[in-house]
Chain A
Amino acid sequence: MSDDICTMSLSAVAKAIAFGELSSAETTEACIKRIQMHGDKIDAICEIDLEAARANAQVADDKLANGVRSGPLHGVPLAHKDMFYRSGRVSGCGSKIRATFVPDVTATVLERLDQSGALDIARLNMVEFAFGVTGHNEVMPTPKNPWNVAHITGGSSSGPGAAVAARMVFGSLGSDTGGSIRFPACCNGLVGLKPTWGRVSRYGAMPLSPSLDTIGPLTRTAEDAALIFGVIAGNDPLDPTSSQLNVPSYNNALSKGIKGLRIGVPENYFFDLVETEIADLVEASLDVLVDSGAELVPITIPASLEATNALTSLIISTEAASIHQAWLQKRPEDYGSQTRARMNSGLTTAATRYVQARNLRAPLLADFAEAVFDKVDLLHCPVMNTAVPTIKETDLLANPGFAEIIGQMGHCTRPINYLGLPSLTIPCGFTANGLPSAFQLVARPFDEATMIRVGHAYQNATDWHTRAPTL
């Protein structure tokens, strides 16, 4: 019974708790049991406070017994990347530098999840300061992929990817600056929602590169992502960069179907570096969308997109270096060597080049919008170029030759951050090595609802999201 609960979707569990078919206490206990059984193998959990988790679940059940349902996530156990501050609780950011840091504020995203009734049962491991795409962490545990523990989880939201895929929790918040939600979603067979820049408040979240940082959910279904996203999206006076645009009902979008939606298929750029087996899986997913009523439209991607991967790297390394400079100079040995190198490379960026890299975002977004969104509702493209590699072969300390391939991993993801656009990663099958793969949908700014709608239609017609790794 315990494992049966854990394999339910977040939406199904939330409904079961709301209707009294399950208690929050038994649901939380099922998650705890699974974490205790498989936690050491997967290394996704940084810390779990069992006493608090059980007590909070009991509070949720008591409230419900008294007719009080806090919100749509009432009593559902979640856990998040260890970079969202909760006042009075350590937030280590996957680092030695902040291993004992206790914030005195709580992130707005956690406040909103609390208000919706969700339980926050654990802190999840992550790439050091969220700066890395494979999931490796030289100074803290590196999570393992539940589909095959010899393989990477993808990063930097490595713990969220592994924990949700391993059915330890029903959903998790990650962050995405260059692909850090989408890589773990792709590698672990999950849905990952990277929102439009400014759609979700970043108050109380560790910054990596504020011009690019976004926060979003990793879940097993698009419907689950809609549930969490509806709670965390929207303006926050504590984060003046958060948009004041209305937040639509993402749940309502689920029932609309996709008949007549125009989906763009890139003729250039996005498939330039993609291996054949990935291209085959991504292209096969288009057939499902056509069968569900979508119309495919070939799209020529503007040549200016070629520059965006390098421009993104410059912005990330420069902003990260500006944040970390004092520690980089005083405590260099406390950083992992890869993180330190990535940050150090930003210390010497000329200020004019940094400003120019930021200012080019508007004209390059205009190019992309004209080429894509004047013709279609969404763009459909790969997330990763290759099958999920092993931890060993991507360990740059032992295998420095892999650096170039890691550099290319962001080919399909970083341009989306540079342009500030939303993207939804949807699992679409398995490669020959038995690991999941995925495609991503890219929408016009603030149109997450249409991505969710298409993702839900795809999952209604397929069963990839129902398959669970055997631990």
Chain B
Amino acid sequence: MNETEKFAEWLRSFQGLNTTEEIAELAIAAKKIVPVIEDKIERLHLETEPASFERLLHDLAPEELKNE
């Protein structure tokens, strides 16, 4: 079993995804994102969640837009 076939088997077993060779190859090619995230992972704190981003967007907005 080559790497593509192993990955396709894993997808079938764990994701319920009947994948094609094209999908498996794309997924393997996408592995390069892993080190990008790993490199930044210490920036994530226990409290970090998507709402943190939305709150920061609003915090950074011009003050005059925040008045009632």
Contacts and interface: CB of A to CB of B under 8 A. Distances in A.
Nearest to A321: B23
Contacts of B36: 307, 310-311
A369 B44 CA distance: 18
B18 interface: yes
Contacts of B53: 358-359, 361-362, 365, 420
B44 A356 contact: yes
Contact of B62 (A243, A356, A365, A447): A447
A141 to B, nearest CB: 26
B56 A311 contact: no
A196 interface: yes
A373 B60 contact: yes
B30 interface: yes
A432 interface: no
A365 B56 contact: yes
Interface residues of B, number: 41
A360 B65 contact: no
A287 to B, nearest CB: 28
Interface string B24-46: 10110110111011011101100
B66 to A, nearest CB: 6
A353 B61 contact: no
Contact of A363 (B22, B26, B39, B44): B44
A360 B62 CA distance: 23
B45 to A, nearest CB: 8
A446 interface: yes
A341 B24 CA distance: 11
B28 to A, nearest CB: 9
Given A348-B17, A360-B43, A353 B56 contact: no
Interface of B: 7, 11, 15, 17-20, 22-24, 26-27, 29-30, 32-34, 36-37, 39-41, 43-44, 48-50, 52-58, 60-62, 64-67
Interface of A: 196-198, 211, 241, 243, 245-248, 304, 307, 310-311, 313-314, 317, 329, 341, 344-345, 347-349, 353, 356-366, 369, 373, 420, 444-447, 449
Given A245-B58, A360-B44, 6 more contacts: A246-B65, A314-B33, A329-B18, A344-B23, A345-B23, A444-B62
